[in-house]
Amino acid sequence: MGCEVDRVFIQAVEHRPKPTIIEVSGIPLIDLSPLNSVGPEGLQSLSGLIAEVGAACRDWGFFQVINHGVPLDLLDRIGSAAKEFFALSPEEKRKVRRDEMNWLGYFDTEHTKNVRDWKEVFDFVVHVPTVIPASYEADDQEVQELRNRWPTYPLELREASMEYARAVEKLAFKLLELISLSLDLPADRLSTFFKEQTSNIRVNHYPPCPGPHLALGVGRHKDPGGLTVLAQDDVGGLDVKRKTDGEWVRVKPIPDSYIINVGDIIQVWSNDRYESAEHRVSVNSEKERYSIPFFFNPAHHVMVKPLEELVSEENPAKYKEYNWGKFGKIRKQSNFKKLDIENLQISHFKISE
Ligand code: OGA
Ligand code: NI
């Protein structure tokens, strides 16, 4: 990536990170160990935990969890295999490069909000094949089967990744049930949307950057899917926009924890009771950083709209329905190359009051 910051990475002045950003501990920290002791009555009995999750989703759209049940050695294995992969030559990595038809594999020129990110990534889907629409055209019914692209070296990346995926997926379903209960819905109310899920895992590598005050690892954005379960290393750099005052705050790395954030789909399902949080990644000039988000996404054919149980005459639906598969397809298109238009957001489906 050169030793200077090319202008394609440079953020507009108002989006650059301030050097004074604070690392806060006020982000909700939730201990999930009660999950290990649920009796036959099920998760409903964990009213304290459900209330904590509900408050965190409402007030922050963002929280950290400990005692989450994902074995640490699975994270270590995917982490070290990914590190070996990113250490390969650019030519080697490009052998599994993403292309316009299949966005899985290696990519180092992603754009968020039309500015290039200071990062390289490796993407894979959790279920193979993953079915998505073949095009973003609304009336095109054709679908496409996505398959992963695995490098020949390191060989263990494939197995380590899939094993990790199965463990994090379990955690994601548990969190989804807790969120469902926190909205006074049955535990499995949201799970059915994930039957032919389009979830994916991304390994992010943020190399040291000579101009950390100018560029971002990932520009400000909200995650478009259901829920994100993110592992970060001990370097730090994830910033969240705090809802109470709009200030950017840094999420302090906690060993063996996950960061959970509400995605746009949960915002729409909950009819704005929960809001997805805007976040971004700051980089630094000394240390590289790794993170591994699991993006928990529903089936492509799911029509996303406020849940019937959560709307009423006094509280009418705030969004028109939209198709998740087409939405995702349009977003992928816009981060593949720099476009001159604003990319698609759920605000485009908002019903004006
Ligand atoms: C993302 C993201 C955060 C991080 O990839 O969508 O927000 O800490 N990553 O890498
Ligand atoms: Ni994100």
Residue 352's pLDDT is 80
Residues 193 and 142: their CA atoms lie apart, in Å, by 20
Residue nearest (by alpha carbon) to ligand 1 atom 6: 223
Q: Which of 204, 234, 343 to mutate to test the pocket of ligand 1 (most atoms within 8 A of CB)?
A: 204
Contact 82, 277 (CB under 8 A): no
Residue nearest (by alpha carbon) to ligand 1 atom 8: 238
Residue 339's pLDDT is 58
Q: How close is the Cα of 166 to the center of ligand 1, in Å?
A: 20
What stretches in the chain show pLDDT beneath 50?
Answer: 1-3
Read off the tokens for 113.
Answer: 């909000």
Residue 45's pLDDT is 86
Residue 335's pLDDT is 66
Q: How close is the Cα of 280 to the center of ligand 2, in Å?
A: 7
Which atom of ligand 1 has the smallest separation from the CA of 228?
A: 6
> What is the number of other CB atoms lying within 10 angstroms of the CB of residue 233?
17
Residue 112's pLDDT is 87
Residue 191's pLDDT is 97
| Ligand 1 binding residues, C-beta < 6 A | 202, 204, 218, 223, 230, 232, 238, 279, 281, 291, 293
Residue 2's pLDDT is 46
Q: How close is the Cα of 40 to the center of ligand 1, in Å?
A: 37
Q: Which of 279, 295, 343 to mutate to test the pocket of ligand 1 (most atoms within 8 A of CB)?
A: 279
Which atom of ligand 1 has the smallest separation from the CA of 204?
A: 10
Contact 149, 99 (CB under 8 A): no
Residue 53's pLDDT is 98
Place of tokens 């990644």: 281
Residues 209 and 347: their CA atoms lie apart, in Å, by 33
Q: Which of 112, 233, 238, 251 to mutate to test the pocket of ligand 1 (most atoms within 8 A of CB)?
A: 238
Rg (CA), the chain: 20
Residues 63 and 315: their CA atoms lie apart, in Å, by 27
Residue nearest (by alpha carbon) to ligand 1 atom 10: 291
Q: What is the pTM of this model?
A: 0.94
Residues 256 and 161: their CA atoms lie apart, in Å, by 18
Q: Whose atoms come closest to the Cα of 217: which ligand?
A: 1
Residue 167's pLDDT is 98
Amino acid at 282: S
Q: How close is the Cα of 3 to the center of ligand 2, in Å?
A: 26
| Closest to 50 in 3D by CA, of 213, 143, 42 | 42
Q: Which of 64, 122, 218 to mutate to test the pocket of ligand 1 (most atoms within 8 A of CB)?
A: 218
Q: Whose atoms come closest to the Cα of 200: which ligand?
A: 1
Residue 100's pLDDT is 85
